[in-house]
Amino acid sequence: MTDINHIVIVGRLTRDLGTDERSFAYLPSGQARANVSIAVNRSRKQGDQWVDEANYFDVTIWGKTAENLKPYLTKGKQIAVDGYLKQDRWEKDGQKQSRVSIVANNVQLLGGKSDGGQQSGGYTPRFSQGAASSQGIGADAGYDMGPSYGGSDGSFPEDIPF
């Protein structure tokens, strides 16, 4: 039986994606890498009261997805991340160290208002890793362009079923 390593998480960014090399950089191969941190709130009952607790997770976004999301990843923005857990291990001063982070396969921007204070448009951008996302911008690049009506050519049918 195959093991499963899959995570879906929704939270808010704890800081803006900056221009410093630690949060966004291009590798020597030319591939983009973005490191963000998200806070995920959870309510649990403690005695007779509900207590909120925040958990913080580091997320790494690669390639065209990182490039395309760069202008949108601002502090407080709610995002959904679909990916997998990755454990890094190293030794420092004779002590073994370990860190678990999330590597994103898909990232979706969620709700909230845009920077101009107006509600976001009629579709929510969805950014995906994979072969389709490396081919450019558009529906084939992993964007969710909203519902499709009619045939595959994008035209409306003559008889609308409502």
158 vs 101, residue with greater confidence: 101
Element (H, E) at 68: helix 63-69
pLDDT at 118 over 80: no
- Buried b / exposed e across 20-29, counting CB within 10 Å, b at 16+? eeebbeeeee
Q: What is the pLDDT of residue 141?
A: 41
- Alpha carbon distance, N-terminus to C-terminus of the chain: 47
- pLDDT digits over 63-101, tens only? 999 999 999 999 999 999 999 999 999 999 999 999 999
pLDDT at 137 over 60: no
Q: What is the pLDDT of residue 158?
A: 60
User: Measured between alpha carbons, how far is 51 from 39 in angstroms, rounded to an integer?
Assistant: 16
Rounded mean pLDDT of the chain? 78
Collapsing DSSP states into helix, strand and coil, what is residue 62? strand
pLDDT band at 139 (very low <50, low <70, confident <90, very high): very low
Q: What is the pLDDT of residue 21?
A: 78
User: Measured between alpha carbons, how far is 109 from 10 in angstroms, rounded to an integer?
Assistant: 10
Which of 6-15, 34-43, 144-153 bottoms out in mean pLDDT, i.e. has the lowest?
144-153
CB 78 within 8 A of CB 110: yes
User: Measured between alpha carbons, how far is 148 from 155 in angstroms, rounded to an integer?
Assistant: 9
Q: What is the pLDDT of residue 160?
A: 55
pLDDT at 116 over 50: no
pLDDT at 148 over 60: no
Amino acid occupying residue 82: D
pLDDT at 34 over 90: yes
Encoded tokens for 3:
């093991």
Question: What percent of the chain is helix, strand and coil (3-state, nearest 5)?
Answer: 10, 45, 45
